[in-house]
Amino acid sequence: MIVVKLKGGLGNQLFQYAAAKQISIKFNTPLVLDLSFFESKSQKHTSRIYELDKFNIDTRVADYNESKKINSSPLSKIRLNKLTDKNFWFKQYFIRLLPFGYVRGFWQSEKYFIEIKHLISESFTFKKPLDYSFSDLEKQIDITNSVSIHFRRGDYVTNEKANKHHGVTSLEYYTHAIEYINQQVKDAVFFVFSDDIEWVKLNFSSQSPLVFVDKSDQTNHSDFRLMLQCKHNIIANSTYSWWAAWLNKNADKIVIAPQKWYNDSKNQQKLKDIIPYSWILL
């Protein structure tokens, strides 16, 4: 049995599930989700809830007593959240030698699940359709050379620890990204998404056509679902828009990501694993 501890927001949960799913398939063993993080009262983290129940995944969730037993195991104390390709080999060896494997970390690279890319793409579809009130936006996105632009603010601004770790992507990055897209895509229309859309309206402008998406259903992730329907994507330093771009099924998509993903140089070295080879760094 492979147990994965989920934590963080939607983007992190998708990474954690995908990596653990590849391991469970590789060793032909069941995958179980440990949701104890979401029951924690710790103030160290931004408050989050379990989100994967909205997707078409078929995986068992550990009950309270099982989670408690898993988290008291010596195995759960071993932290594997800073993996490199070399350490990935060690992880496989580690799991194979034990009666069960406990997967704990962030796993922010497609390298951890690229072997089951098709399965992950199928699993990460929503159980319920987007509310009909978004049909006009969906139509606009469908009939235009649509490009999503994601501005991530929220706890990147309000949480001191998150701000120090991630920082906020500069407005210059978005300007350069639009310029790049316009050189490659004719008549591009840019759909702007943010967790602080009013701030973006006040602080960002462009001569290119912008559609500010100020109607949002946070519970059902309308922003996420509309972003992945766009033909191209300009993402923030955010796993949320990373996954929207990765799940975008347009074979000819252009994805632009910020060169500066972290504030500190040590974490910044991880960028080569986070961003897929075919994406553009600006």
Collapsed DSSP state (helix, strand, coil) of residue 84: coil
What whole-number distance in Å separates Cα of residue 244 and Cα of residue 281? 17
Residue 159 pLDDT grade (very low, low, confident, very high; cuts 50, 70, 90): very low
What whole-number distance in Å separates Cα of residue 261 and Cα of residue 85? 20
Number of domains present in the structure of the chain? 2
Residue 235 pLDDT grade (very low, low, confident, very high; cuts 50, 70, 90): very high
Is pLDDT of 224 > 50?
Answer: yes
The token pair that represents 65 in the structure block: 């007593």
Residues 145 and 263 in one domain: yes
Residues 97 and 10 in one domain: yes
Collapsed DSSP state (helix, strand, coil) of residue 50: coil
Residues 146 and 59 in one domain: no
Cβ count near 25 (within 10 Å): 15
Residues 66 and 140 in one domain: no
Cβ count near 187 (within 10 Å): 9
Please choose, from the candidates 198, 195, 109, 212, the residue with its C-alpha nearest in 3D space to the C-alpha of residue 156. Answer: 195
Residues 72 and 116 in one domain: yes
Among residues 95, 123, 151, the one where a domain terminates is: 123
pLDDT tens string 258-278: 998 877 767 777 777 889 999
Residue 61 pLDDT grade (very low, low, confident, very high; cuts 50, 70, 90): confident
Residues 140 and 276 in one domain: yes
Q: Which residue has the tokens 């994406």?
A: 279
Please tell me the predicted confidence (pLDDT) of residue 178.
98
Helices (H), ranges, the chain: 10-26, 64-72, 85-96, 117-123, 135-143, 155-158, 160-165, 171-184, 197-203, 222-229, 239-247, 265-268, 271-274
Tell me the average pLDDT across 41-53.
74
The CATH number assigned to the domain holding 155 equals: 3.40.50.11350
Residues 106 and 57 in one domain: yes
Q: Which residue has the tokens 């924690």?
A: 40
Instruction: Say which amino acid occupies 137.
Output: L
Residues 58 and 32 in one domain: yes
**Please, are residues 113 and 119 in contact by the beta-carbon 8 Å criterion?**
no
**Residue range of the domain that includes 6:** 2-123
What whole-number distance in Å separates Cα of residue 275 and Cα of residue 239? 10
